Amino acid sequence: MSHFGRTGPPDIADTYSLLVLNITFRTTADDLFPYFDKYGKVVDIFIPRNRRTGDSRGFAFVRYKYADEAQKAVERLDGKVVDGREITVQFAKYGPNAERIHKGRIIESLPKSRSRSPQRRSRDDYRDRDYRRRSRSRSFDRYDRDRYGKDRDYRRRSRSRSASPDYYRARGRGRYDDERQSRSRSRSIDSASPARHSPSPRKSPSPRRSRSLRDESPGRRSRDRRSPTPRSVSPRGRPADSRSQSPRKSDDE
DNA sequence: GTTGAGCGTT
């Protein structure tokens, strides 16, 4: 990940989180480390990335060990030009587990209580967020807004099509496909539905699924495939079934 | 290869 070599969040109990905004999309934690490390002890730096594309979102989280150092870094690095971009450094308001944070300091809800319920819930919390995004995507996220921009024109068009609930269902797949679909449909109307004239009807989506299964477990899949027909075919006498007899062709293929 | 308001991961 975007850590210093360690996986997962380290001890966030006695650390002060700083939110770094307005950084370039190619700025990594290593690039920010020297800047923040100069003003204090940096525990960890994390840069959220997009799950689908894997690109940086444009902001990072820097955790300091002491508040005074974090405060100094905020005042010093806030407005600093990094990688040609003016970054914005401020204390994080929201924690990873939705914990209460005061001046970047994480205030544990139950410091003395050792209940395991809230701990597990926190993990499901962040996972639920991702699932909701990919599955539903009912609300416009930052990414979607970036694509369409803040133009109100888009909203107007969206409302026109909002009459068809199917439209939203179709766009659930992805915004990119949505654009292509919408364009295709528009052309279809002008062209008097050329899809009907298409001589090639819909084929079963088997090819894609079979490929996925093979990728899941290639070794076992190949072995199981040849197992069911060892004695079914004659050892020799059927050249057509040479796939199980001719190793020089079938296996290599 | 692009975009720029915001708040985070094993």
DSSP A60-80: EEEEESSHHHHHHHHHHHTT-
Q: Residue A231 gets which letter from DSSP?
A: S
Q: Which nucleotide is nearest to A19 (CA to C1')?
A: B7
Residue with tokens 């003003």: A39
pLDDT more than 70, % of chain A: 38
**Predicted pLDDT at A213:** 36
Q: Is the dihedral of CA A141, A144, A150, A153 positive or negative?
A: negative
**Predicted pLDDT at A107:** 77
> Mind listing the pLDDT tens digit for each residue in A120-157?
333 333 333 443 344 444 444 444 444 433 333 333 44
**Predicted pLDDT at A184:** 39
Measure, in angstroms, how far nucleotide B2 C1' is from residue A146 CA. Answer: 11
Both tokens of A112, joined, read: 């003395």
Q: Which nucleotide is nearest to A95 (CA to C1')?
A: B8
pLDDT at A205 over 80: no
Nearest protein residue by Cα to C1' of nucleotide B5 = A142
**Predicted pLDDT at A39:** 94
Alpha carbons A226 and A214: distance in angstroms, whole number:
14
Model confidence band, residue A8 (pLDDT cutoffs 50, 70, 90): low
Q: Tell me the pLDDT of chain A averaged across its residues.
A: 60
Instruction: Choose between A184 and A27: higher pLDDT.
Output: A27
> Mind listing the pLDDT tens digit for each residue in A74-113?
999 999 999 999 999 999 988 887 777 888 888 765 544 4
Chain B positions within 7 A of any protein Cβ atom are: 2-10
Phi/psi at A43 (5° precision): -75, -50
Q: How far is CA A235 from CA A146, A222, A224, A243, in A?
A: 63, 20, 19, 11
The one-letter amino acid code at A184 reads S
In this complex, which protein residues place their C-beta within 7 A of any atom belonging to strand B? A 1, 3, 7-9, 12, 17, 19, 21-25, 44, 46, 48, 55, 57-59, 61, 63, 85, 90-96, 101, 106, 123, 126, 129-130, 142, 145-146, 149
